[in-house]
């Protein structure tokens, strides 16, 4: 069993709550863009944002991975965006886990703000696609690690 760490480190663990989704089957690039969008939001507004993205009612701004992507008129500041629905659903699951962890620790979930949201590439699964004349080509599938950290703000 692998030992996973967090990319967010602190000495004061009493005021922070963490949750992670390890080796989730979503795109690391899209997960990074969704995590960048929910950073700094409260738990309720992040949940509403992710539900709207999953229902394709609100786009996510693509800030880094934006080449050959369509523009969305609903976005302000960053015109390039999209609707990563699968990624939004998985991050919503991690967000619900974060809220449950906060309730278990006795924190007030209405005063929680997401201060750290990160997605990184996880394990690579290598498969082979059969080709013509007895050949094969590698097909590499990348899994994703998702981390959320929230702090109780008064």
- CATH classification at residue 72: 3.90.470.10
What pLDDT shows up at residue 1?
67
- At residue 7, the 3 state secondary structure works out as coil
pLDDT per residue rounded down to tens, the chain (154 residues): 677 778 888 777 778 999 999 999 999 999 999 999 999 999 999 999 999 999 999 999 999 988 888 888 888 888 899 999 999 999 999 999 999 999 999 999 999 999 999 999 999 999 999 999 999 999 999 999 999 999 998 7
Whether 41 is in a domain gets the answer yes
What pLDDT shows up at residue 15?
87
* Total domains, the chain: 1
Under 8 Å CB-to-CB from 22, ≥6 apart: which residues?
A: 4, 122, 145, 146
Whether 5 is in a domain gets the answer no
Whether 7 is in a domain gets the answer no
User: Residue 27 is part of which domain span?
Assistant: 16-152
Element (H, E) at 151: strand 136-152
Whether 11 is in a domain gets the answer no
Whether 51 is in a domain gets the answer yes
Give the integer Cα–Cα distance in Å for 147 and 154: 23
Whether 66 is in a domain gets the answer yes
Whether 75 is in a domain gets the answer yes
What pLDDT shows up at residue 77?
83
Determine whether 77 is exposed, middle or buried from the number of CB atoms within 10 Å of its CB (0-12, 13-18, 19+).
exposed
Whether 10 is in a domain gets the answer no
């Amino acid at each position: 069993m692998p030992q996973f760490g967090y990319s967010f480190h602190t000495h004061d663990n009493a005021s922070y709550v963490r949750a992670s989704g390890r080796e989730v089957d979503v795109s690391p690039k899209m997960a990074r863009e969704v995590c960048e969008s929910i950073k700094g939001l409260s738990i309720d507004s992040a949940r509403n944002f992710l539900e709207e993205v999953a229902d394709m009612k609100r786009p996510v701004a693509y800030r880094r991975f934006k080449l050959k992507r369509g523009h969305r008129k609903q976005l302000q500041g960053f015109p390039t965006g999209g609707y990563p629905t699968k990624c939004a659903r998985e991050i919503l699951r991690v967000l619900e886990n974060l809220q449950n962890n906060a309730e278990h620790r006795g924190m007030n979930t209405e005063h929680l703000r997401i201060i750290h949201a990160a997605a990184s590439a996880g394990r690579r699964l290598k498969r082979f696609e059969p080709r013509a004349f007895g050949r094969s080509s590698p097909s590499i599938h990348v899994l994703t690690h998702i981390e959320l950290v929230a702090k109780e703000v008064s």
